[in-house]
Structure 1
């Protein structure tokens, strides 16, 4: 007898469709921005009906918000895996944090940053808030461990170091300033972290 095909549960099928929409939209939005793309364009690019697309996401704004929140969940999970081992190798954790952030920022191009600030200021506020939270929790933890290990300066409290880092990110990682300085999200964030870390590490850390 021919093997009977096991039907895929509807919830699993819906999840697969939703995941595909998010993945493709993320790739498109982050690379090219989202101001000019319509839900009709996305449906055509995905090879699905507009009805299917709208059944998952009622608007482009809802889809954009989901893309952003999924991105932050991914960043948070990756950084969390690194900081969970920070106490045993603080300097290594700092280097891995930087590499991880660089990897995540690589897919985000200037058109997306420009569009979200101009066209979706409420979501830009969400981005800034989530970014602040991620930096405080993950870099703050490693800064604290590094200070305890004598690898980061004792005269600069970790909370102050984080505020300096956050202040630099806030001042530089915005579309007008990035355009003025000729930066991408990846190059800007990497430069900020490197400058801050250079001022924090001790001679003990440099000799390693």
Structure 2
């Protein structure tokens, strides 16, 4: 397994040990470390990373960066996925491959920031199940994992670097076309439902709070 990230500017990587929490750490250091900070966890069985942004828009608009992160993750997966199996985004934050839940994205922002105020920072976190480390219970259907789904020679650091590059493309599109470009692209792969995005993001739909990993 590779142990380093090959990232272009403006990213600044922070690597955590296996027991680390990339999303929580990124939220904790966002104000001090600033935009481009990318926190990741050194694990072979789980893609876990988080990126810090310093948005120019008010929170209600800037929150749509979730869709930029989801699009980047989907693009990075599509580049190496078996072509015969579908990759689908579920409203607003889950990622499914061949109908199996593999993980998703989440968004953090300052808790005291009002909807009409520009937040000092945002954090997009990504978590995907890369490999199974525990045998399922007898008779149970094993959860979806990338390596078992045909993502051959999958390396977590390589994927995170690919995701980071695709995220730069998504943000360039945001800057040139506008924030609405990202939910529009999400809809091309996603099952959209109208709803309160801020409320939906308070608790990630794909995350098992007991394990801190994607729901099995």
Say whether the fold is shared (TM-score over 0.5): no
Instruction: With the length of structure 1 as denominator, give the TM-score of the two structures.
Output: 0.31
TM-score (norm 2): 0.30
- Bigger Rg, which one: 1
Name the structure where helix makes up a greater proportion of residues.
1
Of Structure 1 and Structure 2, the greater strand share is in: 2
Q: Which has the higher contact order (CA 8 A, sep 6+)?
A: 2
